[in-house]
Amino acid sequence: RDTQAREGENLAEMATVEGGKGRSPRGIRSSLSGMVQGAAAAASMAQSPLRRRSSSLGSGKGSLDESWEVGGKYQIKRDSMPMWVGPEVNEMVGELFKDDIVLLLRWVQVVGRPQLGFVLPAGGVPGWVPLQDWYSPGDGPVHKVKMPGSWTMGARYAVISEATVREDRMISSEWVAELVPGDEVLALELTINEGDDEDNKIRLRMKISTDSGTVGWISPQTARGEMLLHHVNLLGSEVVDIVRKSVAVTRSNSLMKLSSWKSTTSNTSEESSPQPGAKQRSYTPGQTMPWEVNGQYRVLEATKLKETHLLTSRDICRVPAGALATILRLELRPTDFCPVALVTIQGDGYLNGCKGWIRCTSTEGHDIIDFRDQHQFIKVQARLAEGERARQLREAREAEEAEDEDDGDG
């Protein structure tokens, strides 16, 4: 009880520092509406997709993450910890216990004070908790290590089950599109609805963008916790391992097909099914290349960096799988019409900053350079911001025209 009382005093003190005023809620459901509106700004609080650790923090049992990430799943360390309706600590909405896992939807930082997080427990009601102790700069009541299965804003995920895209985060908002298994989406924001579905349940909602330019909101998982998106970030280095495994599976399947006792229809094991990010052919001769100049792409297989685009050109070095390459120029090699790119390598040690030519596809036609642009999140955000500015200008112009018409009528 003493611990909970201290946390309540600390949170209330933070609300005073932030200029907030206490309020008397009319019930948990009405309070949730205000919480959701605040959590809708989660994208602006999203941290870098790259996971960073700080070796200077912690209790010697391992390093901690440098910062909190919206979409991250974290573990509760304290035996018991209350959750509050708002940062002002006016009503307790639930309780967390040691080893509980929570999903971080928003966090706030006040200089000289502990950090607060708006979290969603598994199958529970969201609420605010202190992420750190005000008297300790190290690990606090919530273990500052992002757990496997977390979401990352700016990441790219594969759809594994049919999902409906809607105009807004509310389940009852207008239909936009349908996603099918195999589609890929870019995660832009993460928040919750207001329990407006038929079961009146809180649902996790993700704002996404597709390769076709569709932008809307989906549920990355069902109300029962079934995943609709594969948890692997296809912009991360994990995609290299997926490609390697897909190559091994392909070879294994080929050997099985040579066996007379093995039916061609019996090969339906999970290991032989297509995996998100697996080895593929993104370029078809005669069609537009999937890569763009100034885009940054991951190298999926070790390849040679050459002085020129010609096949007989001298080798500069060997680029390992997983390195990133920024494309400066794209061409079709005249001898074999293979797409090649002048790139700058982003990698470790001597590789970083190396400039030269690499082929985009193998002799068999599958991708050596991944078609997924690492800068896609920045480009989509810029496009959405430009669209919003255009909308505001259009509305302002229409308002001025309407005002001029009113003046003319007068």
Q: What integer is the mean pLDDT of 206-218?
A: 95
Confidence at 257, pLDDT banded by 50, 70, 90: very low
In angstroms, what CA-CA distances link 297 with 275, 307, 333? 20, 20, 20
What pTM was estimated for this model as a whole?
0.74
Q: pLDDT band for position 213 (50/70/90)?
A: very high
Residue 152's pLDDT band (boundaries 50, 70, 90)? Answer: very high
Q: How far is CA 93 from the centre of its chain?
A: 28
Lowest-confidence range among 42-56, 283-297, 371-385? 42-56
Both structure tokens of 94 = 């639930």
Other Cβ atoms closer than 10 A to 247: 14
C-alpha to C-alpha distance for 366 and 70, rounded to whole angstroms: 35
Give the per-residue pLDDT at 334.
83
CA distance 87 to 84: 7
3-class DSSP state of 367: strand
pLDDT of residue 228: 92
pLDDT digits (tens, 9 = 90+) for 184-206: 999 999 999 876 656 667 889 99
pLDDT at site 120: 92
* Other CB atoms within 10 A of residue 4 CB: 14
pLDDT at site 255: 38
Evaluate if residue 89 carries a pLDDT over 50. yes
Q: How does residue 370 score in pLDDT terms, banded at 50, 70 and 90?
A: very high
Start-end of H helices in 220-299: 238-258
Which pLDDT belongs to residue 369?
96
pLDDT in tens, 122-140: 877 899 998 888 766 667 8
Q: Please report the pLDDT score of residue 26 as a whole number.
A: 37
pLDDT of residue 271: 38
pLDDT over 90, % of the chain: 51
Give residue 261's pLDDT. Answer: 33
CA dist 149 to 71, 74, 152, 194, 323, Å?
10, 10, 10, 24, 24
pLDDT for the residue numbered 96: 94
pLDDT band at residue 221 under the 50/70/90 scheme? confident
Edge-to-edge strand list for the sheet holding 80-84: 92-97, 80-84, 127-130, 116-121, 101-108, 73-76, 142-143
The helix/strand/coil state of 390 is helix
Mean per-residue pLDDT, 331-342:
90
pLDDT tens readout for residues 26-36: 343 344 344 43
Cα separation, 26 vs 47, in Å, equals 34
- 3-class DSSP assignment, residue 116: strand
β-bridge pairing 92-97 and 80-84: antiparallel
- 3-class DSSP state of 368: coil
DSSP letters spanning 174-233: PEEEEE-TT-EEEEEEEEE--S-STT----EEEEEEETTS-EEEE-SB-TT--BSB-SS-
Instruction: Work out the average pLDDT over 41-65.
Output: 45
Q: Which of 391, 387, 389, 380 is nearest to 209 (CA)?
A: 380
The rounded distance, in Å, linking the Cα atoms of 373 and 366 is 17
Q: Residue 359 and residue 369: Cα distance in Å, rounded?
A: 8
Q: Are 188 and 196 in contact (CB under 8 A)?
A: no
Token pair 């079934």 in the structure block, residue: 226
Name the average pLDDT for the chain. 79
Contacts of 13 (CB under 8 A, 6+ apart): 113
Considering the chain, what percentage of its residues have pLDDT values greater than 70? 73
106-120 pLDDT, tens per residue?
998 767 667 889 999
Q: How far is CA 276 from the centre of its chain?
A: 15
Nearest to 3 by CA among 67, 112, 89, 79: 79
User: How confident is the model at residue 138, as a pLDDT?
Assistant: 66
d(CA 316, CA 338): 19
Report residue 311's pLDDT band, with 50, 70 and 90 as the boundaries: confident
Pairing of strands 156-158, 184-192: antiparallel
Residues 271-299 have pLDDT tens digits of 334 466 667 889 988 889 999 999 999 99
* Token code pair at residue 304: 């040679």
Helix or strand or coil: residue 143? strand
Between 366 and 246, the higher pLDDT residue: 366
Q: What is the pLDDT of residue 332?
A: 92
Closest-CA residue to 320 (of 294, 295, 354) = 354
> In this predicted structure, what is the pLDDT of residue 276?
66
- Looking at residue 19, its amino acid is G
Smallest CA-to-CA distance from 5 within 112, 131, 89, 121 is with: 89
- Please state which of the ranges 1-10, 16-25, 203-212 shows the lowest mean pLDDT: 16-25
Q: Give the single-character DSSP code of 148.
A: T
Taking 60 as the threshold, does the pLDDT of residue 37 lie above it? no
